[in-house]
Structure 1
Amino acid sequence: MSTIHWTENNSPRSARWHSESAAPPPSRVAVADDGIKADTAHGLACEGTALLWRGDFHNARQLLRAMGRRIDRKPPRRGDGPAESFHLYRRARGHRARVLGRLLVLLDEDHSLDLRRAPDVRQACAEAYGPPTGPTVISLTELLGVIGAHEWRTKGVEVPALGARIHPHYGVFSPVRGEYVDLVARATLPVSGGRRTAFDVGTGTGVLAAVLARRGFAHVVATDISPRALACARDNARRLHLTGRIEVRGPALFPEGHADLVVCNPPWVPARPNSALEHGVYDSGGAMLRSFLDGLAARLAPGGEGWLILSDLAERLGLRTRRELLAVIEAAGLRAVDRADTRPRHPRARDTGDPLHAARAGEITSLWRLVAR
């Protein structure tokens, strides 16, 4: 970890710096409290000065919202086409995240937050960061994400296909978009293959592994390259009493051996993630998608199938064409024997104010049934 330095009460101070988005420690840090105006805070943050908050916690949240409103006064401009509009949107969101990320808080040696009206964040921070390692400075936006993740982990996400809740961990993509889970729950299982072994590649929370186990597979191997996802999948398998049927392995993309069914729900958008938390949505250059397809045929048992769950949002944004996708499938020695489609049900598909509304409104999520050629 890096170190952040500031002056407080005429004394030099320092602490460890942590950023899930890999932001470098700010070179200029000013102490701020309830007396600072939103215009002043916004101006300093835009100039690159970080503000270490020493006032009331709820006032800090209000200041963050006020700074966000000032940024949002200038909405991202639309490009000449969907791809340019997407990149301009991502650039604007990145600028917004950087500016708001300059409002900082100090976690004490035990992960506690020494601010007026501050909540007890020790458990939430321990879940996200592990055991405390000394005073640490993080952005308030990151802390709010940690708190939100703790609440999701505690109450879970209802998954109708399971008749149960999945409990996402911090940094693991939550199955809030249930249409892709429903596709796996309803698709016809391979006819010529058995129900002995299934692989869930890039398992995340383990939700698809749980669906496959509930559908009758005796042995489901769930993999992921993220240690947080592996811990999350194991936790959910235990909560669902499926540890005897779900084996979590990794960090790796594929496990050893062959399977009657190999399922993968890779990140849908081939763009560079701006933080570790975005890896569930953005796949730089479509690297994971290509790796899955390239390695799939060698992992299929005789008569087995691979199920690729993929949205066409990237196609609608001009980031990938259907022809390119089909070419990658063919080059991997695979052919598609069927495809099941569904429409998204999430609120953003109906948000006409979203710069990407046209693409989101027409989006289709598909389950591609693939076999070796």
Structure 2
Amino acid sequence: MTKVRWNESGTRRIGFWRSENAAPAPTGIVVITDDISADKALRITQRGSSLLWRGDFQNARQLMRALDRRLEKRASRAPQATDPGEVFFDNRKARAQRAAILGKILIPLEPDYTVRLRRAPDARDACAHAYGQPVDQPADETSDAVGEETLVSLPELLGVISAYEWHRTGIEVGALGARIHPAYGVFAPTRDEYIDLVADAPRPQGIDRPVVWDIGTGTGVLASVLARRGAREVVATDINPRAVQCARDNVTRLGLADRVTVVEADLWPYDDDEDGDSGRADVVVCNPPWIPGRPTSALEQGIYDPDSDVLHRFLSGLAEHLTPQGEGWLILSDLAEHLGLRTRNDLLDRIDAAGLTVVGTSETSPRHSRAADGADPLHAARSKERTILWRVGARPST
């Protein structure tokens, strides 16, 4: 963690900065309390300074909401684009700017993650879940500044607390008849329509108990569904260590650890052996990020994929990892097509260039709240969105 310094009541203070999104350490820290107005707070943040909150915790949340309303109102006055792609990028830019301002509200954590503010929640378990168990930070023997606190942005702390509640209570998955418990920093399966597509997809012809790979497993929800469907063996991969542990915990909780193996890997679970054989599966499932773009947080890695890199690498390597009758199941929202960020022909050309052929498709409409929100700037595109399961197989050689 990065050290930060500020002056408070005539005392030089030193602390640590924590940001899971790798936001830069705050500078020009100004200590504020409940008597600050939202307009004054906004002026301070727009000058580049950060606000260290020493008042009532619930009032800090009220201040954040007030700043958000002001920023949203200003954004609404800006000229509005009409091209769907431009609307998307303008909206994303505005959201990033708002997030940068709101992230300048700082909350101090004690070494044991206690928040010593009036009406503050007990965030110790939530922070331990997200950050790991607290450890003593080394003292700075060369400094005369006073300090032990760790500073985090208020939006991040609220996200940590919310994520821990999701983790504790879990998310009911109809296709499983059970709950999946997401971990902090792991994409939660709240959009369950894609799960139903996988639960209902027909097995490859002639294969009753397939060997399945689940690429980018996240919480392990699809691996668990396929194991419950009768897969002989499921190997689930993810590049995110938190996701690997989360998936292992979920399959163990569901009593599926004897059939589901979770490994940390970038896409494929096995390296090539001496004969160049990298292993094969009867079904290879992948639900990659569906929007070409750069993620700004760990959670956004489940949504945004720069230059569609994960999608393209999955398709290009799929044929060599399938058994002769095997299928790849690609689950992909077509929202990027409605935003003008990718065309259907682009996807079909990639499938063809990878030596694959489309065996069949199934699709469903999204059930999330934004799909019906007419006030959403992207409503025109979201209202047309479909989530599609593409069943593809290796094209027979001629």
Alignment TM-score, normalising by the size of structure 2 = 0.92
| Residue 179 (structure 1) aligned to one of 193, 200, 203 | 193
Instruction: Describe how 1:310-325 pairs up with structure 2 within 5 A.
Output: 310-325=332-347
Cα shift at 1:194: 4.6
- Deviation by residue 1:65-113 (Cα, 9 ceiling, x = unmatched): 1111111112354324111110000000000100000000111111111
Match of 1:97 in 2: 99
Query: What residue number does 1:332 align with?
Result: 354
Q: How many residues align?
A: 373
Partner of 2:273: none
Looking at structure 2, the residues matched to 94 and 27 of structure 1 have their Cα atoms a distance apart, in angstroms, of 19
Asked if 1:275 is matched to 2:289, the reply is no
CA distance in structure 2 between the partners assigned to 1:130 and 1:169 by the alignment: 12
Aligned counterpart in structure 2 of residue 108 of structure 1, from 107, 110, 118: 110
Tell me the SS of whatever aligns to 1:339.
strand
- In the TM superposition, what is the alpha-carbon distance from 1:277 to its structure 2 partner? 1.9
Matched, 1:226 2:240: yes
Report the Cα distance in structure 2 between the residues aligned to 1:366 and 1:6, rounded to whole angstroms. 52
1:25-73 Cα deviation digits (max 9, x unpaired)? 1221101111111111111112211001111111111111111111111
Runs of 4+ in structure 1 deviating by more than 3 angstroms, as ranges, are: none
Give the equivalent residue in structure 2 for 1:12.
12
Gaps of 5+ in 1: none
Mapped partners of 1:282, 1:123: distance in 2? 30
1:43 aligns with 2:57: no
1:6-36 CA-partner distances (Å, limit 9, x unpaired): 1112111122211122211122110111111
User: Does 1:266 pair with 2:288?
Assistant: yes
Output the aligned Cα RMSD.
1.1
Q: Deviations over 1:188-233 (max 9, x none)?
A: 0111335241000000010000000000002100100001111110
5 Å-filtered alignment, 1:147-166, equals 147-166=161-180
Query: What does residue range 197-276 of structure 1 map to in structure 2 within 5 Å?
Result: 197-256=211-270, 257-276=279-298
Kept in 2: contact 1:261–1:304 (CA 8 A):
yes
Identity percentage of aligned residues? 56
Task: Classify the secondary structure of the residue corresponding to 1:329.
Answer: helix
CA distance in 2, matches of 1:196, 1:33: 61
CA distance in 1, matches of 2:325, 2:25: 53
* Partner residue in 1 for 2:60: 60
Any idea what SS the aligned residue of 2:304 has?
coil
Residues 272-325 of structure 1: CA distance to partner in whole angstroms, max 9, x if unpaired?
111122111111111111111111111111210000000000000011111111
Amino acid at match of 1:329: I
Q: Is the 1:2–1:16 contact (alpha carbons within 8 Å) kept by the matching residues of 2?
A: yes
Query: In the alignment, residue 127 of structure 1 is paired with which amino acid?
Result: H
Aligned to 1:28: 28
Name structure 2 gaps, 5 residues minimum.
Answer: 138-148, 271-278
Aligned counterparts of 1:265 and 1:75: Cα–Cα separation in 2: 33
Q: What CA distance in whole angstroms lies between the structure 2 residues aligned with 1:75 and 1:343?
A: 30
Highest Rg: 1 or 2?
Answer: 2
TM-score (norm: length of structure 1): 0.98
Letter in 2 for 1:237: V
Residue equivalent to 2:318:
296
Q: Is the 8 A contact 2:45 2:51 kept in 1?
A: yes
State the match for 2:145 in structure 1.
Answer: none
Q: Secondary structure at the match of 1:96?
A: helix
Is 2:371 the partner of 1:357? no
For residues 216-266 of structure 1, the C-alpha deviation after alignment (integer angstroms, 9 at most, x for no partner) is 002100100001111110111111111111100013311122111000000
Residue pair 1:192, 1:304 contacting (<8 A) in 2 also: no
The range that moved more, 74-83 or 281-290, is: 74-83
8 Å Cα contact 1:227/1:251 also seen in 2: no
Q: Hey, what's the Cα distance between the residues in 2 that align with 1:313 and 1:38?
A: 36
Q: 2:211·2:234 contact (CA, 8 Å) conserved in 1?
A: yes
Partner Cα distance (2:354, 2:218) in 1: 24
Matches of residues 124-135 of structure 1 in structure 2 within 5 Å? 124-133=126-135, 134=137, 135=149
Higher mean displacement: 234-243 or 193-202 = 193-202
**Contact persistence 1:193–1:302 (CA under 8 A):** no
Amino acid at match of 1:247: T
Q: Shift of the alpha carbon at 1:172?
A: 0.7
Match of 2:363 in 1: 341
Q: Tell me, what secondary structure is at the counterpart of 1:75?
A: helix
Instruction: Answer whether contact 2:186 2:298 (CA < 8 A) is retained.
Output: no
